[in-house]
Structure 1
Amino acid sequence: MSNTPSNNQGDVKTLLEKIKDINTAMLSTADEDGSIRSRPMRHLEANEDGTIYFFTEYNSGKTDEIKNDSHVNLSYAKPGDQMYVSVSGKAQVYRDQQKIDELWNPAMKAWFPDGKDDPKIGILKVTIDKAEYWDSPSSAVVHLYGMVKAAITGEPAHPGENKKVNL
């Protein structure tokens, strides 16, 4: 399992490929007192330029936290596949009707009942600074083999891939 940092654009593509089918990310922000707050966010779009988009309520606690400190973390998990991703970056919240129209899908009506013209909708854009992912085979046999091999050879088990990506 490699965990050396990388600056390769191909690694960004790999990172985005890993999160593309995960619909929800946990967004963590810092409150005024420094405490960390996390909440689930519906993932809308991730681009190879290192930007990830969400809809959010334009005037909310999280937008206040982001205005105070733009550093955020996004956590993605697909436990059934033993795949986990942590993304650190900077966030901004803004209104852009053209981008709202571009990203809109009918499922968003659950949060914004007035549709894409709801004046409460804001765009939450996260620009990735760095990320790390862990992707392990989900097979119990593969994990058992790795543990047995580690016990016999004295080397640590490396059951999958771990990579750091820097933008």
Structure 2
Amino acid sequence: MNTSDLTKQVLKIISNHRGGVLSTVENNKPHSRYMTFYNDDLTLYSPTKMNTEKLGEIEKNPFVSVLLGYEEQGQSDAYVQISGRSKINNSQNLKNKLWDDSFNKWFDGPEDPNYVFIEIQPETARILNHYDEPPQELNFLQ
């Protein structure tokens, strides 16, 4: 598969799956949790509270890994593993754009100062379990 086709496949998967796993580094070990993800092209955004341990972990080590994909039973579903650099994004435009009423459970509206996003710039993306093909990798640092 060429780079353009791989990029389209990655975009298709990350655009069609909101729930995924975010892994940060805590004490030199992986620390994973389920998160909600949005994307703008290949950049991922995940809403979170400002006072969570994951933000402290990201401040110490900005490198993260994200898994998105799998449906149904997952046995033959393609999924994407993205590795990249993360940072906190507190843009009011982004907060307004991605606000969902389901967030009312955790935040007092899009202006809540505790409502921020983890922004993830991908460095690599791997498509796995795609039609039983070997993993395919895109490198964005070239």
TM class, shorter-chain normalised?
Answer: 0.7 to 0.9
- Among 120, 123, 133, the alignment partner of 2:127 is 133
Matches within 5 A, 1:128-167: 128-137=122-131, 159-160=132-133, 162-167=135-140
1:119, distance to aligned residue in structure 2 (A): 1.7
State yes or no: 1:76 paired with 2:49. no
1: CA distance, partners of 2:89 / 2:18: 22
2: CA distance, partners of 1:74 / 1:129: 12
Change (3 A) 1:21 1:165: same
Larger helix proportion of the pair: 1
Give the TM-score normalised by the residue count of structure 1: 0.73
Give the TM-score normalised by the residue count of structure 2: 0.85
1:79, distance to aligned residue in structure 2 (A): 4.2
Task: Check whether the contact 2:126–2:137 (CA below 8 A) recurs between aligned residues.
Answer: yes
Change (3 A) 1:107 1:9: farther
Which one-letter code corresponds to 1:98 in the other structure? N
Which one-letter code corresponds to 1:92 in the other structure? K
Task: Check whether the contact 2:13–2:69 (CA below 8 A) recurs between aligned residues.
Answer: no
1:166, distance to aligned residue in structure 2 (A): 1.0
- Among 58, 62, 68, the alignment partner of 1:66 is 58
Matches within 5 A, 1:35-46: 35-44=29-38, 46=39
Task: Check whether the contact 1:84–1:135 (CA below 8 A) recurs between aligned residues.
Answer: yes
2: CA distance, partners of 1:134 / 1:88: 14
2: CA distance, partners of 1:104 / 1:96: 12
Change (3 A) 1:73 1:61: same
Which one-letter code corresponds to 2:44 in the other structure? I
Task: Check whether the contact 2:79–2:130 (CA below 8 A) recurs between aligned residues.
Answer: no
Report how many residues are paired: 137
1:120, distance to aligned residue in structure 2 (A): 0.7
Aligned to 2:110: 116
2: CA distance, partners of 1:89 / 1:163: 17
Task: Check whether the contact 2:58–2:86 (CA below 8 A) recurs between aligned residues.
Answer: yes
Task: Check whether the contact 1:58–1:94 (CA below 8 A) recurs between aligned residues.
Answer: no
Task: Specify every segment of 5 or more residues in structure 2 that has no aligned partner in the other structure, as ranges.
Answer: none
1:96, distance to aligned residue in structure 2 (A): 1.4
- Structure with higher Rg: it is 1
CA RMSD of aligned residues (A): 2.0
Choose 64-73 or 95-104, whichever is displaced more: 95-104
Task: Check whether the contact 1:30–1:65 (CA below 8 A) recurs between aligned residues.
Answer: yes
